[in-house]
Amino acid sequence: MAYLGAAYLWVKAAHLIFVIFLMAGLFMMPRFFVYHQETVPGSPEDQRWIEREGRLLKIILNPSLVLVWVLGLMLMVEIGAWQFGWFHLKLLFVLGLTGYHGWIASYTKKLAKGQRPLGDRQLRLLNEIPGIAAAVIVIAVIVKPF
């Protein structure tokens, strides 16, 4: 424990807590999209979904993503993670989830403009991405296969 000292376990716990918050939001938002797409653009129900999605993004997803990255980078430096193969796999999937978060933010804006570019089935399939990524990340971090 180089620079975090006794705070290491607290940083690790906070990292995991915010990963859980982030994952919850990443699972929830595409489900919101499925329901939102069923509304008529400009209707009162459409406006309620726009507000819900905006709150989820601003209150849960965005802050969680930032904290996951900050805390994760602190942990990476603390344990010298860059030297481990499992960390490279984790980082690849974390970058993918960060991109997925970006896609969610952009799709939220499209729905707010009344655009409906994807179908329900496509959104349901996209909803599987965070689960697959989480499984790979957990295996990489816990099992450390390489």
Numbered residues of the known binding site for heme: 15, 90
d(CA 8, CA 112): 41
Which positions make up the binding site?
15, 90
Q: Is residue 133 within 8 Å of residue 96, measured between CB atoms?
A: yes
Q: Is residue 108 within 8 Å of residue 57, measured between CB atoms?
A: yes
Q: How many residues does the chain have?
A: 146
Of the candidates 126, 25, 38, the one whose C-alpha atom is nearest the C-alpha of residue 66 is 25
